Amino acid sequence: MKNSVILYPDYKSETSMSQKVLLNATEVQIALHRLACQLIENHDTFSNTVLVGIQPRGIFLAERLKTMLQEEYEIKNIQLGYLDITFYRDDFRRSEKPLEANKTQLNFVVEDKKVVFIDDVLYTGRSIRSALTAIQDFGRPLEVELLTLIDRRFSRHLPIQPDYRGRQVDAIGDEKVKVCWKENDGEDAVYLMNS
Amino acid sequence: MELSVDHLLGIKYITEDDIQLIFETADHFKEVINRPIKKVPSLRDITIANLFFENSTRTRLSFELAEKRLSADVINFSAASSSVKKGETLIDTVNNILSMKVDMVVMRHPNPGAGVFLSRHVDAKIINAGDGAHEHPTQALLDTYSIRERLGDVAGKKVVIVGDILHSRVALSNIFALKKLGAEVKVCGPKTLMPKHIESLGVKYEPSLIKALNWCDVANMLRVQNERMDVSYFPSTREYTQQYGVNKNVLNNLDKEIVLMHPGPINRGVEITSDVADSKQAIILDQVQNGVAVRMAVIYLLAAKINRGVAIH
């Protein structure tokens, strides 16, 4: 969620920022198809795999992939849950903004399952560190993988890397990566913003 | 969103938005305490002292559990086994405890206003866990939270508080909370147990239990507090039960099904009979479970105001 605070300010109000399109709607769609195919390669029928969208922004990507796997690749019974990491973050009481929690919804057992974390942007890796702690409170997964649409290179604070990535981006300093989804932001696109 | 206050001293001092924020946060904690591992690491760096200058079982257990579920360190203190007996003042007692680096104090005290007094003199977040006959804010929060859970919303609901309003901090805090959330409130009980100017709080007095129950959606049955009654307020417990006790018969004769609450501990057969207390209409045990979630929310939100000041980004 830290990422979402830093990376996705209310962009509509920040028109003065210069922004560059990293992925347009077609490219997002292509990346999603590739990610879906890579997931199928590793997880076959998904019989022992569960998808976990990281709140708040990872759930759009997770829902999109679930729909794609079901409708276009005809994989039945995909299990998808949402995981909120607010109470596991390492910056509670250190940030200016108070942290707001979101809903955690895992209606399945994660014990001995292959868990795939899904988030839109991998930045410092701290959210994923929190998610790894959080998921343990629901059981001991067989393994945990990470899928992310955008992987910001050179900005990691922790030794965490994605297993599946849509696009790798070199974003430095105060540049921000913003992922928009049709159902939430009106369009599918990824922008790089300079402030 | 954050709380508008630095301490939870009473419902009187907080806003409706504060209450809604506590409820929303409690929803998340309710999910947490129903997980296989019922614990989150949020307050690893916080130490909380539970100071109980008056007896309590469920409130103390509930607070202690809430603190531990948030991974805070907890120290407990009860007046019976302390230097208070040796004549130490409240501020001295608390400052001694705080010098051991305590961040938050949960206090129950027999004197009304003890929490407010303490908050002005010591450097810690204070949560009032009951001060004399004044306020018991977390009880009111968990009561209204339980109403919200059962009936969907508190606004517009009709709630009657039955029993010893005069000595009850639960009643006062509940009245404040219910009014702030937009409920209609009546109080019911023997005239001798009604504060003189109770109607100035915007509640109506209804002497007849049957009329009150027929009017309400929710009845909160207070405990008859024998320990606080220095003189006789009603002729006998039996007479109280006959007039203000709820039994199956009374409920069956109502036009509708109402929700029954009780802050505990129950005097079975006095305010409420066993069959009613154990029936589906009573949400007494839900109240207890919600108590942990609501107290986790209060502690979490107050702890968020303790700034460690080191920004990562």
| Cβ contact B35–A91 (<8 Å) | no
Q: What is the mean pLDDT of residues B230-243?
A: 84
Q: Which residues have C-beta within 8 Å of that of residue B256, sequence separation ≥ 6? A: none
Using a 10 angstrom Cβ sphere, with 0-12 exposed, 13-18 middle and 19 or more buried, the burial of residue B252 is exposed
Among B85, B86, B120, B197, the one annotated catalytic: B86
Contact B307 A93 (CB under 8 A): yes
B138 contacts chain A (CB < 8 A)? no
B137-288 CATH fold: Rossmann fold (3.40.50)
Instruction: Provide the 3-class DSSP secondary structure of residue A150.
Output: strand
The residue extents of the domains of chain B are 11-135+291-303, 137-288
Q: Which residue has the higher pLDDT, A59 or A101?
A: A59
Average pLDDT over residues A142-147: 96
Q: Which of A7-16, A93-102, A186-195, B41-50 has the lowest mean pLDDT?
A: A7-16
Q: Which of B5, B17, B28, B70 to mutate to test the interface with A (most CBs of A within 10 A)?
A: B28
Neighbouring residues of B61: CB distance < 8 A, sequence distance ≥ 6 = none
* Closest CB to A92 among B2, B32, B42: B42
Check CB contact under 8 Å for A101 and B28.
Answer: yes
Could you give the CA distance from residue B313 to residue B311 in angstroms, rounded to a whole number?
Answer: 6
Q: What's residue B150's pLDDT?
A: 95
- Is pLDDT of A8 > 70? no
B136 is annotated as an active-site residue: yes
Residue A155 CA to residue A170 CA, distance in Å, equals 9
Between the ranges A44-48, B11-15, B308-312, where is the mean pLDDT highest? Answer: B11-15
Residue type, B7: H
User: What is the rounded average pLDDT of the residues A136-147?
Assistant: 94
Q: Is it true that B11-135+291-303 and B137-288 share their CATH fold?
A: yes
Q: How confident is the model at residue A82 (pLDDT cuts 50, 70, 90)?
A: very high
DSSP H or E run through A35: helix A25-43
The whole-number pLDDT of residue A6 equals 45
**What pLDDT does A28 receive?**
93
How many contacts does A have with B, using Cβ atoms within 8 A? 55
Positive/negative CA dihedral, B106, B282, B171, B243:
negative
The yes-or-no verdict on residue A9 having pLDDT over 90 is no
CATH topology of domain A2-194: Rossmann fold (3.40.50)
Question: A81: which chain B residues are within 8 Å (Cβ-Cβ)?
Answer: none
B144-173: b or e for each residue (b if 16 or more CB lie within 10 Å)? Answer: bbbbbbeeeebeebbbbbbbbbbbbbbbbb
Q: Which of residues 109-138 of A touch B (CB under 8 A)?
A: 133, 136-138
pLDDT digits (tens, 9 = 90+) for A174-184: 888 999 999 98
Question: How far is B38 from chain A, CA to nearest CA, in Å?
Answer: 8
Inter-chain contact B35–A137, Cβ cutoff 8 Å?
Answer: yes
pLDDT digits (tens, 9 = 90+) for B39-69: 999 999 899 999 999 888 889 999 999 999 9
What's this model's pTM, rounded to 2 decimal places? 0.87
pLDDT score of A147: 97
Closest residue of chain A to B38, computed from CA coordinates: A137
Domain ranges of chain A: 2-194
Question: Strands B47-52 and A79-83: what pairing?
Answer: unpaired
Q: Which residue of A has its CA nearest to B27?
A: A103
- CATH architecture label of B11-135+291-303: 3-Layer(aba) Sandwich (3.40)
Helix, strand, coil shares, percent, chain B, to 5 = 45, 15, 40
And the tokens for A43? 């997880």
Asked if B267 and B224 touch (Cβ cutoff 8 Å), the reply is yes
pLDDT class of A80 with cuts at 50, 70, 90: very high
For residue B230, pLDDT beyond 70: no
pLDDT at residue B310 greater than cutoff 60 = no
The arithmetic mean of pLDDT across residues A82-94, rounded, is 87
What pLDDT does A96 receive?
Answer: 67
Could you tell me if B208 and B186 are in contact, meaning their C-beta atoms sit under 8 angstroms apart? Answer: no
Closest residue in chain A to residue B34, using alpha carbons only: A138
Is this complex scored with an ipTM above 0.90?
Answer: no
H or E element: which one contains A120? strand A114-122
